[in-house]
Amino acid sequence: MTDEERIRQLREELNEYDYHYYVLDDPLVPDEYYDRLMRELRELEAKHPELVTPDSPTQRVGGQAASQFEEVRHEVPMLSLDNAFSEEEMRAFDRRLHELLGIEEDQPLQYCAEPKLDGLAISLLYEDGLLVRAATRGDGRVGENITANARTLRAIPLRLKGDPPPRVEARGEVYMPHEGFRKLNEEQLRKGQKTFANPRNAAAGSLRQLDPKVTAERPLTYTSYQLAQLEGADWPPTQYDQMLFLKQLGLPISPYMERLQGIEACFDYFRHIGEQRDQLPFDIDGVVFKLDRRDQQRKAGFVSRAPRWAIAWKFPAQEVMTRLLEVEFQVGRTGALTPVARLEPVQVGGVTVSNATLHNMDEIERKDIRIGDCVIVRRAGDVIPEIVKVVMKYRKPGFRKPQMPKRCPVCGSEVVREEGHAVYRCTGGLGCPAQRKEAIKHFASRKAMDIDGLGDKLVEQLVERGLVEDVADLYHLTLEQLMDLERMGEKSARNLLEALERSKSTTLPRFIYALGIREVGEATAESLAQHFGDLPPLMEASEEELQEIEDVGPVVAFNIVHFFAQPRNREVIDKLLAAGIHWPKQEPVDRQALPLAGKTYVITGTLEHYSREQAKQLLKALGAKVSSSVSKKTSAVIAGEKPGSKLEKAERLGVPVLDEAAFEQLIAREALIDS
Ligand code: 5U1
């Protein structure tokens, strides 16, 4: 094959991979394979510069930074949408359309529905299949030419597929998925640059960069929602068909798009999307309903800046303004003081929010937050509500800065800042009731000693009444003491005593984890248990020896040695053992020598023959790690019935997927090699 032929082949292949990834949502190859082909194409093009074409996938990032964006006049104005906020308003919209079209109300109208992405609208103009211009909406008539930036988005084809008509204009939304937004903000923080308040601002800021190289680095994507111009081909007769037409040309459309008959079906669709909202990997702010038939759209017409045939039914806002009443400091298990914002209660995303996390003092400083400020609170997905920014125009001169207290608000011990860290800690140790409560909650938690029925409220009562000073005291509680507590009947008290008794029979990894040594999570506890086989050698280990274990770095090694050096901790351990806590002895294991050492698996969905915990234990016993989130580094995803978004993510990233039979083969094969 000549270089020219290979160049053509590589371009076609890379374009096909982009199409499968972005349009069909069905990735064909892992990223590294894609990158390898791209490198080969770059090398060949460097050898033959005369063969470089503007639609080559290597030419996405190019040109100099601009000094400003040129103006673009939209041939067809970019309209906005009317909003609805209730079923009533939706019924009124439907009724009005019936009237405008002269159709009886008992005849359902056909709608096309899809989620409303929370990004920014752009127009993409293709001539003879080539992307010739991309523009922002601007004021709807005149926007900005952002072609160089739009070209950097892999979701936007530089050339349309198949046999495209001479002129096509598609419109849609550019947006930033959550994962990319989180990473971008982390990166901005690391570089000491300004963070973005939300994914929409991040998308807008990224697309309006004068240097396309910056845009190219930002995790932006695009989905079409309108066919705005078409020449040289017949207009598909409905919105739904127009979208399928764009998809055929290689433009991404919403995978959630549905055709619906009548307004009641719209209600069901809205509810259904609303239920999924928190799990979606990007922000949406409502659902758009469009009269499906183009002839009916034309008859319904427009009012000023919005069509009468479409409406955006908005969800409750995910960002709202409220007032910061106070900043209080919560003391965690390890004594870290975390500032928490107490807010005037407000509805955010359909939930009442009265607290928000402030992470640490640096964040308060960076966002310049003062008590009394009007603040924008955001609650999106399943993340904890947070303050995105202060509305400075409502700031009054007397508003004071939150101050880290010098003494612990719970026990009065001195608060110190760790050198080189943003964290402040109470020095009270287990003498501090807050730390004691948190340590007991951790000890009792499901992944630690799994003491059923010992909830947070109960722990608080036990500590406040002085019945439990340390975790070992739990095992000396009596029926009478428990029955004397609030909301505790004889049956619950007996159940709790039984749960405590049951918890005495545990495993070494659980016990190590339950001790609550700083930065020793489940996985590290497991590695420590495997390495030492029992508690006494772990208690005597040196920092050097500990650092030989996978996952144990200098900080964790120091924390472990420091923990066991405290006489008080040793005393509590002795008391626990004396109370009867025990575990099966295990032989020390060299984890590196296990057959699945170095591999990481993710389990999703329901397996027929194993609980998730059993599958996890089997994999771990063979040396693998089991993680809860899929990344490029995941060795494989094990998918049972009804797998969740993890399966989709694995497929997107090209991570291998094993079904239950393949999982059984894997463990059987590896166990055999091991024996
Ligand atoms: N999903 C979707 N978003 N959105 C925004 N459809 C949609 N349609 C729009 C806008 C502004 O305008 C129509 C008038 C085409």
SS (H, E, C) 84-130: ECCHHHHHHHHHHHHHHHCCCCCCCCEEEEEEEECCEEEEEEEECCE
Which atom of ligand 1 has the smallest separation from the CA of 116?
A: 1
User: Distance between alpha carbon 405 and the CA centroid of its chain, in Å?
Assistant: 33
Average pLDDT over residues 75-84: 93
Sorted by sequence, the CB contacts under 8 Å of residue 658 that are 6+ apart come out as: 636, 637, 638, 639, 666
Cα dihedral: 276, 278, 279, 280 (round 10):
80
- Give the confidence band of 169 by pLDDT, cuts at 50, 70, 90: very high
Ligand 1 atom 7, closest CA:
225
pLDDT > 90 in the chain, percent: 75
CB distance 254 to 115 below 8 Å = yes
CA distances from 563 to 337, 508, 536, 560 (A): 20, 17, 14, 5
Place of tokens 């722990």: 459
pLDDT band at 675 (very low <50, low <70, confident <90, very high): very low
Partners of 311 in the β-ladder: 82, 289
State the SS3 of 468-537.
CCCHHHHHHCCHHHHHCCCCCCHHHHHHHHHHHHHHCECCHHHHHHHCCCCCCCHHHHHHHHHHHCCHHH
Q: Are 78 and 121 in contact (CB under 8 A)?
A: yes
Question: Which residue is closest in CA terms to ligand 1's atom 11?
Answer: 80
* Average pLDDT along the chain: 92
Determine contact, residues 609/667, Cβ cutoff 8 Å.
Answer: no
Out of 288, 289, 291, 302, give the residue to mutate to test ligand 1, the one with the largest number of ligand atoms within 8 Å of its CB: 288
- Cα–ligand 1 centroid distance for 273 (angstroms): 17
> 176-204 pLDDT, tens per residue?
999 999 999 999 988 888 889 899 999 99
Residue pair 570/517 in contact (Cβ under 8 Å)? The answer is no
Which atom number of ligand 1 is nearest to the Cα of residue 114?
A: 1
Ligand 1 center to 604 CA (angstroms): 35
pLDDT for the residue 620: 81
| Residue 672: band (very low, low, confident or very high) from pLDDT cuts 50, 70, 90 | low
Mean pLDDT score, 211-215: 93
Single out the residue of 238, 81, 251 nearest to residue 169, CA to CA. 251
Residue 174 has phi, psi (to 5 degrees) of -100, 130
**pLDDT reported for residue 214:** 93
Nearest Cα neighbor of 150 from 222, 251, 96 is 222
Kindly give the distance from the C-alpha atom of residue 294 to the centroid of ligand 1, in angstroms, as a whole number: 15
pLDDT in tens, 5-50: 999 999 999 999 999 999 988 888 888 899 999 999 999 999 999 9
Q: Tens of pLDDT along 528-582?
A: 998 999 999 999 999 999 998 877 889 999 999 999 998 889 999 999 999 999 9
The secondary element (H helix, E strand) that includes residue 418 is none
The answer to whether the predicted template modeling score (pTM) of the entire model surpasses 0.75 is no
Per-residue pLDDT, averaged over 81-102, amounts to: 95
CA distance 86 to 89: 5
Exactly one of 47, 116, 575, 616 is catalytic; which is it? 116
**Residue 291 corresponds to which tokens in the numbers above?**
């009269």
Decide if pLDDT at 446 tops 70.
yes
3-state secondary structure of 11: helix
Instruction: Determine the atom of ligand 1 nearest the C-alpha atom of 80.
Output: 11
Q: What angle do CA 658, 659, 661 make, to 5 degrees?
A: 110
Greater confidence (113 vs 186) lies with 113
116 has catalytic annotation: yes
Looking at the DSSP bridge assignments, the partners of residue 284 are: 117
Task: Tell me the pLDDT tens digit for each residue of 233-278.
Answer: 999 999 999 999 999 999 999 999 999 999 999 999 999 999 999 8
Q: Which residues of 433-458 are buried (b: 16+ CB within 10 A; e: fewer)?
A: bbbbbbbbbbbbbeebbebeebeeeb
Q: Which run of H or of E encompasses 275?
A: helix 263-276
Separation CA 448–CA 513 (nearest Å): 6
Q: How many angstroms is it from 290 CA to the middle of ligand 1?
A: 9
Per-range mean pLDDT, top range of 56-70, 381-395, 401-415 = 401-415
Looking only at the bridges linking them, the beta strands covering 657-658 and 636-639 are parallel
What pLDDT is stored for residue 507 in this prediction?
Answer: 95
Tokens 């995803």 — which residue? 637
Per residue in 277-334, pLDDT tens? 988 999 999 999 999 999 999 999 998 789 999 999 999 888 999 999 999 999 999 8
Q: Which residues surround ligand 1 with Cβ inside 6 Å?
A: 79-81, 114, 116, 121, 225-226, 288, 307, 310
Ligand 1 atom showing the smallest separation from residue 173 Cα: 3
pLDDT at 674 over 50: no
CA 411 / ligand 1 centre spacing (Å): 56
Residue pointed to by tokens 């601007």: 138
How high is the pLDDT of residue 471?
95
Question: Quick check: 299 and 100 in contact, CB under 8 A?
Answer: yes
Structure tokens at 189: 């923080």
Over residues 369-392, the pLDDT tens digits come to 999 999 999 987 667 899 999 999
Q: Write out pLDDT tens, residues 618-660.
A: 888 788 888 888 888 899 999 998 887 788 888 888 899 999 9
Bridge partner residues of 83 (DSSP): 312
**Mean pLDDT value of segment 487-504:** 95
Contact 649, 641 (CB under 8 A): no
Instruction: Tell me how far the alpha carbon of residue 165 is from its chain's centroid.
Output: 39
Whole-angstrom Cα distance, residue 156 to residue 147? 11
